[in-house]
Amino acid sequence: MSSLAQIDPEIYAAIQQEEQRQLTKLELIASENFVSPAVLEAQGSILTHKYAEGYPGRRYYGGCEHVDTAETLAINRAKQLFGVEYVNVQPHSGTQANMAIYFAFLKPGDAILGMDLAHGGHLSHGAAVNFSGQLYRSLSYGVKKDSGEIDFEGIEACLKKHRPRMLVAGASAYPRTLDFERFAQLARHYGALLMVDIAHIAGLVAAGLHPSPTPSADFITSTTHKTLRGPRGGLILAQNREIELQGKQEFYAQRLDFYLFPGIQGGPLMHTIAAKAVAFQEALRPAFKRYQQQILLNARTMAEEFLQRGYKLVTGGTDNHLLLIDLSKTGLTGQQAEIALDQAGITVNKNRIPFDPRPAKVTSGIRIGTPALTTRGMKAPEMRQVVDFIHRALSAPTDVSSLEHLQKEVKDFCRTYPLFSPEWYCEVQ
């Protein structure tokens, strides 16, 4: 019997039940993925014991020589992976990474221009309910109603009129390629700093399958999970440029380090940083690019299948790992679809579509992503089968008997693709 089962059987049971959910259901949430056994081992290691406020070689505690090694490896691997001069691997999340940049380069009340949450943006890009919309003057841009693609003319008009201090590029529900150079040209022309949040597409960027913001952006932030397939956490990347603030020249690195710690965080999570280092090492291997290529192929395959079945996709398809399905013509809300699919053993999230008349707790769409199923070894034929499962569930969303039968089919299907498939596990080793 495990120690956890003896000491806390309730938590042990919750973990076991969650493991079964992950094993027996189809995980299609675009922001989720499955890490390797090596990443799990590092995350659950005794590094969790160590307090290490500060940075490698500059700690406020003794006994940090070994965690210094782990953090330095994570930094150097991320530099190699993304081709940058500066990396901070300490942010606890992508939002913390964004917060550090705002605090370092903005004053309360400064204007930021980010993608509207209702059009596919993120809470930390200026949403009114988030600190970024409360501490700063929040401006937003969106997508064109006819195409669903980013409205760059609207961005320029807003930059020209309001002259925000920072332009934020990045999204959490946008299925097309982001034109970072166009964002950069606009930011430079109107005197704004450019922050690019690649949380969703970091793995694609690292593999060279999505344009990199490295040449264009002032700052880049990311999570380390999602397509990057690491532990849950954040990351800051930059070239170490100089900036003049209040008449003083400073390098990005010194400000970013200071405003992350001690500015907004205390001690870093050294077990998570070690797990990040492992994930970066995996991402530097040839197998990772093949994995990212399969993510894209799987997403395109699903998009084609949905279109053939008469579903409407925002922007008409996808260039990346996700697709946004507009359910308006089906008579279902996103909330109803999410519930029906869950009963069928398929996990998605309800999601607002651009210009959605329904509130965020109801929505008119669902968001689907392929990273997690691709990790389990599924390819294009399996994606077609998954779309068939989804279609059947959405065609009879209140038929309890049909959904129960479908759930059994899905469970049998999942058994063919174990969570840590031998083929994938061998590849990342």
pLDDT for residue 362: 97
Based on the residue annotation, tell me whether 285 is a catalytic residue of this protein: no
**Domain residues for 160?**
41-283
pLDDT for residue 413: 98
- With respect to residue 20, please indicate whether it lies within any of the assigned structural domains: no
- With respect to residue 61, please indicate whether it lies within any of the assigned structural domains: yes
Contact 133, 115 (CB under 8 A): no
What is the spatial distance between Cα 264 and Cα 106, in angstroms, rounded to a whole number? 14
Please report which confidence band the pLDDT of residue 53 belongs to, taking 50, 70 and 90 as the band edges: very high
Annotated binding residues for (6S)-5,6,7,8-tetrahydrofolate: 117, 121-123
pLDDT for residue 285: 95
pLDDT for residue 424: 58
Please report which confidence band the pLDDT of residue 429 belongs to, taking 50, 70 and 90 as the band edges: very low
Written as six digits, the tokens of 122 are 């993120």
Q: What is the mean pLDDT of residues 361-366?
A: 97
Please report which confidence band the pLDDT of residue 422 belongs to, taking 50, 70 and 90 as the band edges: low
Based on the residue annotation, tell me whether 350 is a catalytic residue of this protein: no
Looking at the structure, do residues 241 and 379 belong to the same domain, yes or no?
A: no
CATH of the domain at 316: 3.90.1150.10
- With respect to residue 311, please indicate whether it lies within any of the assigned structural domains: yes
Contact 202, 253 (CB under 8 A): no
How many Cβ atoms from other residues are within 10 Å of residue 45's Cβ?
14
Written as six digits, the tokens of 72 are 């330095």
Catalytic residue from among 95, 214, 221, 223:
223
What is the spatial distance between Cα 139 and Cα 425, in angstroms, rounded to a whole number? 45
The tens digit of pLDDT for each residue in 268-314 reads 999 999 999 999 999 999 999 999 999 999 999 999 999 999 999 99
- With respect to residue 368, please indicate whether it lies within any of the assigned structural domains: yes
pLDDT for residue 241: 78
Looking at the structure, do residues 143 and 230 belong to the same domain, yes or no?
A: yes
The count of structural domains within the chain is 2
What is the spatial distance between Cα 310 and Cα 330, in angstroms, rounded to a whole number? 10
Looking at the structure, do residues 226 and 89 belong to the same domain, yes or no?
A: yes
The tens digit of pLDDT for each residue in 83-98 reads 999 999 999 999 999 9
Catalytic residue from among 25, 59, 226, 276:
226
**What is the bridge-based pairing of β-strands 137-141 and 166-169?**
unpaired
Q: Give one DSSP letter per residue of 327-374, joined into a string.
A: -GGGT--HHHHHHHHHHTTEE-EEEPPTT-SS-TTT-SEEEEE-HHHH
User: Comparing C-alpha atoms, which of 302, 354, 312 is closest to residue 118?
Assistant: 354
Looking at the structure, do residues 96 and 183 belong to the same domain, yes or no?
A: yes
pLDDT for residue 1: 67
Based on the residue annotation, tell me whether 232 is a catalytic residue of this protein: yes
Query: Picking from 68-82, 251-265, 364-378, which range would have the lowest pLDDT averaged per residue?
Result: 251-265
Based on the residue annotation, tell me whether 174 is a catalytic residue of this protein: no
pLDDT above 90: percentage of residues in the chain = 93
Catalytic residue from among 27, 71, 116, 197:
197
Looking at the structure, do residues 252 and 337 belong to the same domain, yes or no?
A: no
Looking at the structure, do residues 271 and 410 belong to the same domain, yes or no?
A: no
- With respect to residue 67, please indicate whether it lies within any of the assigned structural domains: yes
Looking at the structure, do residues 267 and 335 belong to the same domain, yes or no?
A: no
Catalytic residue from among 12, 24, 51, 68:
51
pLDDT for residue 371: 98
Looking at the structure, do residues 301 and 314 belong to the same domain, yes or no?
A: yes
pLDDT for residue 243: 74
pLDDT for residue 419: 87
Q: Give one DSSP letter per residue of 1-38, joined into a string.
A: --HHHHH-HHHHHHHHHHHHHHHHSEE--TT-----HH
Amino acid making up residue 199: A
Which of 232, 256, 283 finishes a domain?
Answer: 283
Q: What is the mean pLDDT of residues 357-361?
A: 95
The tens digit of pLDDT for each residue in 333-346 reads 999 999 999 999 99
Looking at the structure, do residues 220 and 159 belong to the same domain, yes or no?
A: yes
Contact 183, 196 (CB under 8 A): yes
Q: What is the mean pLDDT of residues 19-23?
A: 96
Question: Which residues, 6 or more positions from 60, have their beta carbon under 8 angstroms from its beta carbon?
Answer: 53, 54
HEC string of 278-333 equals HHHHHHCCHHHHHHHHHHHHHHHHHHHHHHHCCCEEHHHCCCCCEEEEECHHHCCC
Which of 283, 314, 347 finishes a domain?
Answer: 283
What is the spatial distance between Cα 162 and Cα 111, in angstroms, rounded to a whole number? 8
Q: What is the mean pLDDT of residues 328-332?
A: 95
The tens digit of pLDDT for each residue in 215-261 reads 999 999 999 999 999 999 999 999 987 777 777 777 888 999 999 99
- With respect to residue 8, please indicate whether it lies within any of the assigned structural domains: no
Based on the residue annotation, tell me whether 165 is a catalytic residue of this protein: no
Residues pairing with 246 in the sheet: none
Looking at the structure, do residues 326 and 314 belong to the same domain, yes or no?
A: yes
Mean pLDDT of the chain: 95
- With respect to residue 18, please indicate whether it lies within any of the assigned structural domains: no
User: What is the residue whose two structure tokens read 């934020």?
Assistant: 168
Which of 245, 266, 283 finishes a domain?
Answer: 283
Q: What is the dihedral of CA 208, 210, 212, 218, to 10 degrees?
A: -150
pLDDT for residue 423: 61
Based on the residue annotation, tell me whether 227 is a catalytic residue of this protein: no
Looking at the structure, do residues 140 and 208 belong to the same domain, yes or no?
A: yes
CATH of the domain at 58: 3.40.640.10
Dmax over Cα atoms in the chain, in whole Å? 70
Contact 252, 220 (CB under 8 A): no
Looking at the structure, do residues 260 and 399 belong to the same domain, yes or no?
A: no
Residues pairing with 140 in the sheet: 114
Written as six digits, the tokens of 5 are 């089962």
pLDDT for residue 420: 80
The answer, yes or no, to whether residue 427 has pLDDT greater than 80, is no
What is the spatial distance between Cα 230 and Cα 277, in angstroms, rounded to a whole number? 9
Annotated binding residues: 117, 121-123
- With respect to residue 322, please indicate whether it lies within any of the assigned structural domains: yes
